[in-house]
């Protein structure tokens, strides 16, 4: 094993551990909002680490394509989280007693009372 | 080095199994949408590890197509749920 192998081994195993952490969170958290947290951040970090690790194994032009995959994941994960979170809030499948701040609920209450 | 690939595959497989448990238990449709999204991410990661193991990156465009498809699927499914269920 030369130093490239060592670096890519550390990155790939670290990334896989981060993915596993996200999956454990996805299984054990109580509601949709908390699961979204586990589904986006550790997963994206883990995927990017695995991509960098694989890029060290593959070489330069392939590394560019892998960077594109990582960039795409970083762009789309927040969009999916935003849309799913909003849908969950509207469908009332978020436990409102576990929220620390509920800005959207306050705003909706205000809008409803001013419309009345 | 193949030991490293095996460990990475094992970790990703365990993560995939946990995600499948969440996918089956679900509770709400949105939980399942999130689980499918995570599952696709795990598949992309394992495909990357596989390409590193085989030293062959000829299927790299597949990963981009897969990520794009997962994004479109999750977004449209979330929109559908939002439209169907009542406003609070």
pLDDT tens digit sequence for B3-54 = 999 999 999 999 999 999 999 987 788 889 999 999 999 999 999 999 988 8
Contacts of B5 in chain A (CB under 8 A): 12
Which of these, A38, A74, A64, A41, lies nearest to B67 by C-alpha position?
A: A74
Which of these, B1, B65, B81, B36, lies nearest to A35 by C-alpha position?
A: B36
Distance CA A80, CA B75 (A): 6
Distance CA A65, CA B63 (A): 9
pLDDT of residue B87: 44
Q: Give yes or no for a contact between B74 and B36, defined as CB atoms under 8 angstroms apart.
A: yes
Of A43, A73, A90, the CB nearest to B82: A90
Q: What burial class does residue A114 get, using C-beta atoms within 10 Å of its C-beta: 0-12 exposed, 13-18 middle, 19+ buried?
A: exposed
pLDDT tier for residue A106 given thresholds of 50, 70 and 90: confident
Could you tell me what percent of chain A has a pLDDT over 90? 46
Contact between chains at B38 and A57 (C-beta distance less than 8 A): no
Of A16, A47, A92, the CB nearest to B88: A92
Q: Give yes or no for a contact between A71 and B73, defined as CB atoms under 8 angstroms apart.
A: no
Q: How many CB atoms lie within 10 A of CB A100?
A: 4
Which of these, A11, A3, A6, lies nearest to A53 by C-alpha position?
A: A11
Distance CA B2, CA A108 (A): 55
Query: Does A11 reach chain B within 8 Å, measured CB to CB?
Result: no
pLDDT tier for residue B84 given thresholds of 50, 70 and 90: low
B20, B48, B66: which to substitute to probe chain A, counting the most A Cβ within 10 Å?
B48
Distance CA A54, CA B79 (A): 34
Contacts of B1 in chain A (CB under 8 A): 1, 5, 9
Distant-in-sequence, close-in-space partners of A105: CB < 8 Å, separation ≥ 6: A89, A96, A99
Q: How many CB atoms lie within 10 A of CB A102?
A: 13
Average pLDDT over every residue of B43-68: 88
């Amino acid at each position: 094993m030369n130093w490239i192998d060592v670096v890519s081994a550390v990155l790939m195993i670290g990334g896989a551990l981060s993915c596993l952490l996200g999956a454990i969170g996805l299984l054990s958290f109580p509601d949709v909002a908390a699961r979204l947290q586990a589904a986006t951040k550790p997963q994206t970090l883990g995927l990017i680490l695995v991509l960098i690790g694989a890029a060290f194994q593959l070489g330069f032009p392939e590394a560019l394509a892998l960077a594109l995959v990582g960039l795409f994941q970083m762009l789309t994960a927040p969009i999916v989280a935003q849309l799913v979170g909003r849908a969950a809030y509207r469908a009332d499948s978020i436990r409102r007693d576990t929220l620390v701040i509920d800005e959207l609920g306050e705003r909706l209450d205000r809008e409803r009372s001013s419309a009345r | 080095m193949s030991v490293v690939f095996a460990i990475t595959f094992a970790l990703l497989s365990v993560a995939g199994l946990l995600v499948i448990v969440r996918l089956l238990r679900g509770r709400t449709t949105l939980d399942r949408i999130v689980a499918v999204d995570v599952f696709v991410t795990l598949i992309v990661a394992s495909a990357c590890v596989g390409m590193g193991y085989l030293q062959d990156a000829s299927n790299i465009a597949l990963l981009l197509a897969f990520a794009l498809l997962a994004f479109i699927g999750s977004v449209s499914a979330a929109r559908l749920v939002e439209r169907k269920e009542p406003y609070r």
